Structure 1
Amino acid sequence: MDISEYKVEDFVLDPDFKKWVLNPDRETNIIWEKCLEDYPEKVDQVKVAREILINLNVKTRKLQTADKEGLWRAISGKLEEEAPGVGPAAKTVPIGIQGTIRRIEKRVYISRQNHWAAKVASVALLVFALGAAFSLYFDKPLGEEKQLKPEVMVHATSPGVKSSLTLSDGTKVILNSGSKLSYVKNFSSGEREVFLEGEAFFDVYRDEARPFRVYTGEVVTTVLGTSFNVSTRDGEMISVALVSGKVSVKSSRSDTGEMLLEKGEMALVSTNDFSMKKKVFSEEQVIGWTKGMIVFDRTPMQEAFAILENWYGVEIVLAGNIPSSLVFSGKFKEETLANILRGLSYSWEFDYTIRDDQVKIHFK
């Protein structure tokens, strides 16, 4: 019998179930015991239906004393004779509904306990397996087993925006506008390596066990603890200017080996043939940008305008009698673009208009 969809009211209205509750016999007991064995989850509903039927029966029919005694014997007793066709070794089947319910409830309880224990064991096994897998995964050297993909952090600034950040090792970085810095989160590989596009100033936290390396294309700058500026702004040159400490600069495409810099020295690496040269530099001119300062020192016109475009996040459009060669020298600290253009216009003789993020310059 399929009682999978039975609710309490279905049991109450089922005549066979009613007979089992009120007038149990061997046949009905075998049938309903089989049902509960097949659907043990229905035992709670069976108990409620039984109580309803008993209460209804008490209200509608007054049992005679003999009937009560006979019913009690039928419910509480066990059948001693054998079922037809069953050998003497067969187990005795109890006739009472309460006995069946208690037996099924016990079975459900044991099943739930076993299920819970199995779940606990499964979770424990899963934790152990994950721990073992984690250990094996990271104990193997690189190349022997596929490594977990590291999380790469990227800090980028738009033209006109500068940014300051502190890396997980304590190194402080000032990122110039229109630049990008990438590195593995927390330097999880054990190496302190960053990749730079644009310009940045580094104040490196000293850690002799882990040198700090800045990759700019084919050029690698290695330090232990120092402050320096790296720039790839000039499409033809990569510059590394040392403010304090010592650094080594090396190109993977050059045969000249590494170049060691002392304080106040700058390495210039050509992006064409990767040749390197060293020179002294003006700290104000090279890292003045970190203090809100623009310094022009006989700076060509195109380079000066490119600096202003990136600094203020604008586009500069030239018109009129554009000079073929023009240089400018000057210093501006935390000035507005309008004030800088006004100062330049006196020497370069041009008119200008600023509208939103576009600047039009007309040479006279």
Structure 2
Amino acid sequence: MTPQDAENLLFRYAAQQCTEQEEELVNAWFNKVVKETDYAEPFSMNVHAMSDDWERLIAERGKQMPVHRHKTRIIGRSVAAAVAAAAIAVGVLLYYKPPTKVNNAAIAATMDTTISHRDNDFKLTLPDNTVVYLNGASSLRYARSFAGKQREVFLEGEAYFEVSPDKKRPFIVHSRGQKVQVLGTHFNISSYDGEPVSTTLLEGAVKITTTGSHSQEVLLKPGFQATLGPKGFEVKEVDPGSATSWKEAFVFNQTPLKNVLKQLGRWYKVDIDSSRVTAVTLDAVYGKYETLPNLLKEITQSTGVKLVLNNNVITVE
């Protein structure tokens, strides 16, 4: 587990987005820190040390620890302090009052984590007046105020940024495997798990840097897109509007049906059974506020593949 993976897992835990096994891992780490630490004052823990701890816990659990299922999780004073220490390690301060118990929702709120609505785009304005549009199943983590020499946010999923200009304080977006640095510009980042990370620039200029062991840097011009792959960045000229069309509609251009369903699953908060999906592609534009049953009927007519919704799962009949 990399330090970035550990950091992301901690914030997914706070936002109640973890799997049961991930919750077990974080809970085990909390218990370990509680036993080993004096909480007279919150302390700073290096995120690399946190990552190493979790690697050891994963190894131990694989060998001797069964998976226990927790139905509820209420965190008291000592664990709240552990969360505070972990949050300090990744640059976010959690405040807690000793007599008050802290539950998941409270932790998520204090961390200033914003989670998009799963069935609606979400627009927000950051403390520096930067405007961000979050796509479905996406989240953005940011500080309560940008008081330092730079403005940093952490993205999971996809977002479109209209960055407020500030020549003295660069705006930095951290996403999976890369960071994007700008002074003031408009750009889109897509970084869903299991999909390539792509950055598309509409205006201005951005500098993109990989965060892996072999650092690579690219300067992007308007109308170009940088996709991060195993060998680094691939830069190509694109239609910038196609990268941001998700703000208004579903736009499919020779899109494999499996990818179409993946997008619908994120938006309508349903699961996908793609085991019987054929290699057909789709060319179509649909409004994002169309009902899912109507959309499935239209896609069925266009592709000849009968799609049905049963028990919140889209399948091929």
Question: Which residue does 2:171 correspond to in 1?
Answer: 212
SS of the aligned residue for 1:341 comes to helix
For 1:351, which of 276, 290, 306 is the aligned residue?
Answer: 306
RMSD in angstroms over aligned alpha carbons? Answer: 2.5
In 1, distance between residues paired with 2:258 and 2:308? 18
Q: How does 1:240-251 map to 2 (within 5 A)?
A: 240-251=199-210
Opposite residue 151 of structure 2, the aligned amino acid is R
In 1, distance between residues paired with 2:277 and 2:223? 37
The answer to whether the 8 A contact 2:163-2:183 is kept is yes
Opposite residue 332 of structure 1, the aligned amino acid is Y
Question: Which residue does 1:326 correspond to in 2?
Answer: 280
In 1, distance between residues paired with 2:92 and 2:241? 41
The answer to whether the 8 A contact 2:162-2:186 is kept is yes
For 1:307, which of 263, 272, 280 is the aligned residue?
Answer: 263
In 2, distance between residues paired with 1:330 and 1:203? 28
In 1, distance between residues paired with 2:210 and 2:180? 9
- From the superposition, tell whether residues 318 and 195 of structure 1 become closer, same or farther in structure 2 (CA, over 3 Å): closer
SS of the aligned residue for 1:186 comes to coil
* CA apart distance, 1:234: 6.0
TM-score (norm 2): 0.61
In 2, distance between residues paired with 1:284 and 1:234? 23
* CA apart distance, 1:254: 6.4
In 1, distance between residues paired with 2:225 and 2:215? 16
In 2, distance between residues paired with 1:213 and 1:180? 16
The answer to whether the 8 A contact 2:296-2:308 is kept is no
TM-score (norm 1): 0.54
Higher relative contact order (CA 8 A, sep 6+): 2
* CA apart distance, 1:352: 3.6
Structure 1 or 2: larger helix share?
Answer: 1
* CA apart distance, 1:296: 0.8
Q: How does 1:4-43 map to 2 (within 5 A)?
A: none
Pairing 1:155–2:110 present: no
Percent identity (aligned): 31
For 1:168, which of 127, 130, 133 is the aligned residue?
Answer: 127
Moved more, 172-181 or 252-261: 252-261
SS of the aligned residue for 1:225 comes to coil
Opposite residue 175 of structure 2, the aligned amino acid is T
Pairing 1:285–2:242 present: yes
Q: How does 1:48-127 map to 2 (within 5 A)?
A: none
SS of the aligned residue for 2:127 comes to coil
- From the superposition, tell whether residues 170 and 149 of structure 1 become closer, same or farther in structure 2 (CA, over 3 Å): closer
- From the superposition, tell whether residues 322 and 263 of structure 1 become closer, same or farther in structure 2 (CA, over 3 Å): closer
- What residue ranges of structure 1 are gaps of 5+ in the alignment? 1-142
* CA apart distance, 1:340: 2.3
